[in-house]
Amino acid sequence: MKPMSVGSRPLVPSRFAPSGLGHASRRSPKTIVGGYVALTKPRIIELLLITTVPTMVMAERGWPPTTLVLITLLGGTLAAGGANAINMYVDRDIDKLMVRTQGRPLATGLIEPRNALIFAICLQIAAFAVLWSGANFLSACLALSAALFYVFVYTLWLKRTSRQNIVIGGAAGAVPVLVGWSAVQNNVAWAPVVLFVVMFLWTPPHFWALAIRHIDDYRAADVPMLPVVAPLPEVLKQMLIYTVLMVIGTLVLAPVGHLGLIYVIGAVVLGGLFIGGTWALSRDPNPQKAMRLFGYSISYVTLLFGVLTLDVLVRNGF
């Protein structure tokens, strides 16, 4: 497949073409159990859970009942795992075309598609039951809505048809903060809504950094991620805009969420580093820097929600 272009100009610089850097193939699961675990995309679930517990702490203004935390984490894990498994079921054809995903259990044939779909639906049913019985009906509905949005809006509709796929579809990954808050308060307030917006704005620069590094994979699978279908300067400009808006959102959270100096200092420092990293990538775009920014984006979320938790606990005497 030829690179997409405007006139005779490639949309992506040639330095992003295959080179000695290559795309390292992920290790394939060797056992059936390992295959089912891989279907849930555990590393993605970890990131979602990192945002859930701190939001529960903010909702409680202290540490929530540990049983409720564990139930919410279990329900969130099952819901996200089920959605991810359905995503793999739908994408099993293009996963075979992308080096980054060729080791997935449906792409290798380790697990039958029908069994994977049944497994995914069972996880969703279990997630709803766990959250409804152990937390409340609202949190169960929010978790289910995120899964349905991820499957039907992102995976089945936008991913293969729109350059805004990850922008709109990323809303599903922002819902865990609403689930965490509602599990404690049984409502949705402005503080978790601001956090939702922060995570929504975080997703494009996070994912586009990865897409820049693996642009040949998405091109081979004909997936219109922005780095594939737009000039690189435009992609980097969009990444910078989303990053700046995200950092502004984290600062808005301080008064809305009644957070103090620990959080504000952390948000400013971490946000400044994120903006600086995005700016540096725009000045000197290359795959290595893109992956460093991708890695930092994960650390950013972990540390930001960590200082949020610390701020709440310190301010409330825990």
In the three-class reduction of DSSP (H, G, I as helix; E, B as strand; rest coil), residue 224 is classed as coil
- Asked, for residue 54, whether it belongs to a domain, the answer is yes
- Asked, for residue 11, whether it belongs to a domain, the answer is no
pTM equals 0.89
Residues 304, 246: Cα–Cα separation, whole Å: 12
Pair type for strands 5-6 and 9-10: antiparallel
- Asked, for residue 220, whether it belongs to a domain, the answer is yes
3-state helix, strand, coil in the chain (%, to 5): 75, 0, 25
Residues 91, 155: Cα–Cα separation, whole Å: 8
- Asked, for residue 105, whether it belongs to a domain, the answer is yes
How many structural domains compose the chain?
1
Q: What is the DSSP letter of 317?
A: T
- Asked, for residue 22, whether it belongs to a domain, the answer is no
In the prediction, which pLDDT does 12 show?
A: 38
- Asked, for residue 157, whether it belongs to a domain, the answer is yes
Cβ(89)–Cβ(106) under 8 Å?
A: yes
User: Residue 256: which domain range?
Assistant: 31-315
The count of C-alpha atoms lying within 13 angstroms of the C-alpha of 225, restricted to the half-sphere facing its C-beta, is: 27
- Asked, for residue 183, whether it belongs to a domain, the answer is yes
Residue type, 190: W
Q: pLDDT by residue for the chain (318 residues), tens digit each?
A: 333 333 333 333 333 333 333 333 457 888 999 999 999 999 888 888 899 999 999 999 999 999 999 999 999 999 999 999 999 999 999 999 999 899 999 999 999 999 999 999 999 999 999 999 999 999 999 999 999 999 999 999 999 999 999 999 989 999 999 999 999 999 999 999 999 999 999 999 999 999 999 999 999 999 999 999 999 999 999 999 999 999 999 999 999 999 999 999 999 999 999 999 999 999 998 889 999 999 999 999 999 999 999 999 999 887
Place of tokens 């920014």: 293
Which residues are CB-contacts of 72 (< 8 A; sequence separation ≥ 6)?
A: 52, 56, 131, 134, 135, 139, 179, 180, 183
CA geometry: angle at 161 spanning 156 and 166, to 5°? 75
Residue type, 305: F
Residues 67, 64: Cα–Cα separation, whole Å: 8
* Of 115, 112, 116, 92, the residue nearest 104 (C-alpha): 92
* Of 281, 201, 188, the residue nearest 245 (C-alpha): 201
Output the domain CATH number for residue 159: 1.10.600
Strands (E), the chain: 5-6, 9-10
Note the maximum CA span of the chain.
64
- Asked, for residue 99, whether it belongs to a domain, the answer is yes
Q: Which two tokens stand for residue 281?
A: 């990538």
Give 44: exposed, middle or buried? Use CB within 10 Å, 0-12, 13-18, 19+: middle
In the prediction, which pLDDT does 131 show?
A: 98
